């Protein structure tokens, strides 16, 4: 047998202890069940997601499509950096 040590926030450990006790087990049993399920299914037994990049929200995608259509139709304005900087000063 191997011993694995991990750190939990004190409040999280108390909550997990209480939840496990309500289910008739301890934290060691909880992690053993988790590990066995992960190994049997060959995946983490719950979905892990990250928040979507806000750049790809519907409003931005709509603006990108609109800009692309304008470019496809040749409706573009070309300015040099100096022209753009001069516009900023106005």
> pLDDT tens for residues 13-66?
999 999 999 999 999 999 999 999 999 999 998 887 777 888 888 899 999 999
60 & 83 share domain: yes
Q: Is residue 18 in some structural domain?
A: yes
Separation of alpha carbons 51 and 35, rounded Å = 26
Question: Which residue do the tokens 């516009």 mark?
Answer: 87
Same domain assignment for residues 60 and 35: no
Regarding whether 60 and 82 lie in a shared domain, the answer is yes
Backbone angles phi, psi at 64, to 5 degrees: -65, -45
Q: What total of structural domains would you count in the chain?
A: 2
* pTM of the shown model: 0.52
In a domain, 3, yes or no: no
Structural domain boundaries, residue 68: 54-89
Nearest of 48, 14, 50, 19 to residue 33 by alpha carbon = 19
């Amino acid at each position: 047998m191997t011993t694995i040590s991990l750190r939990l926030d004190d409040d999280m450990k108390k909550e997990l202890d209480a939840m496990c006790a309500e289910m008739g087990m301890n934290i060691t049993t909880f992690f053993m069940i988790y590990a066995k399920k992960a190994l049997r299914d060959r995946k983490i037994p719950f979905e892990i997601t990250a928040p979507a990049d806000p750049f790809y929200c519907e409003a931005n995608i709509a603006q990108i499509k609109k800009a692309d259509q304008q470019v496809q139709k040749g409706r573009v304005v070309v300015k040099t950096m100096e022209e753009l900087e001069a516009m900023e000063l106005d």
